[in-house]
Amino acid sequence: MFNAHTQLIFYSLRKYGFQRRNESASLYDYHEQLTMQDGGLTALYWSGYDLPETTPTIVLIHTISGSPDSMAELVRDLGLKTGWRIVLCLRRGHGQLPLLTPRFNMVGCTEDFRGQLAHIRERFPDSPLYAVGTSAGSGLLVRYLGEEGGDAPFKAAFAYCPGYDTGTCFDNVHPRYSRIMAKKMVRQFVCPNESVLSSLRTADSLLTATDLGDLYQKLYELAGYDDYPSYDQNTNPMNVFEDIRIPLMVLNAEDDPICHINNLDPWRDRMKTMDNVILVTTRKGSHCAHYEGWSARSWSARLMSDYFKSV
Q: What is the CA radius of gyration of the chain?
A: 18
3-state SS string for 72-95: HHHHHHHHHHHCCEEEEEECCCCC
Q: What is the pLDDT along the chain (311 residues), one digit of tens a residue?
A: 889 999 999 998 888 777 777 777 789 999 999 999 999 999 999 999 999 999 999 999 999 999 999 999 999 999 999 999 999 999 999 998 999 999 999 889 999 999 999 999 999 999 999 999 999 999 999 999 999 999 999 999 999 999 999 999 999 999 999 999 999 999 999 999 999 999 999 999 999 999 999 999 999 999 999 999 999 999 999 999 999 999 999 999 999 999 999 999 999 999 999 999 999 999 999 999 999 988 899 999 999 999 999 99
Other Cβ atoms less than 10 A from the Cβ of 175: the count is 9
pTM of the model: 0.95
Please state, in angstroms and rounded to a whole number, the distance separating the CA atoms of residues 110 and 149.
13
What single DSSP character describes residue 190? Answer: I
